[in-house]
Amino acid sequence: MLERAELRLGEARILATTLWTDFGLFGPDRVWAAGEAAAASMNDYRKIRTSPRYGRLRPADTRREHAVAKSWLRERLEEETDAALTIVVTHHAPSARSLPPKYAKDALSPAYASDLDDLVAASGAALWIHGHTHHCVDYAVGSTRVFSNQRGYPDEPVPDFDPLGIVELDAPTQHAAARDPGQD
């Protein structure tokens, strides 16, 4: 598992973190309610323990982790690098645009995505890959391509999942372009 970790793979710098949500997707006045909805409905808050001696994971814990991860990510993205391109990998989605349209205003949506469009746009990353939403997306925020190709649960497959989902990156321009595996 990569948590707040940097990995070099050839000419690419990969920055990876879970990036738990801050529950602020619908604004600061709805953070508490969004956290309570998540705690009441999601397995994360029933099954994950913060340590063997203490209780379950709480929304306050994940908001704190979000702040730490966001700060770490911002610092890494602002650093000078000799990498030809940067790829960010997070579990949680960085934008409301990653949510399935039918859940855009759902009370649980803030548990799946954060409003980090400004960070994504300023990141300089060629590609930002995420999961967690059980929804496949491919869009740009600024010059950063946001991509998610999620299989979903075995009994709840994601319709647009591509088992050969491949993304090609042009290193010199940090531009991410989709590649059709059928063109080989």
- Tens digits of per-residue pLDDT, 104-142? 999 999 999 999 999 999 999 999 999 998 888 999 999
Q: In this predicted structure, what is the pLDDT of residue 170?
A: 72
Q: What is the mean pLDDT of the chain?
A: 89
- Cβ of 29: how many Cβ atoms within 10 Å? 8
pLDDT top residue among 82 and 52:
82
Question: What's the DSSP call for residue 113?
Answer: B
Rounded distance between C-alpha atoms, residue 126 and residue 170, angstroms: 9
For residue 181, is pLDDT > 80?
no
Tell me the C-alpha distance between 109 and 127, whole Å: 23
- Beta-strand (E) ranges in 121-174? 127-129, 137-141, 144-148, 152-153, 156-157, 167-170
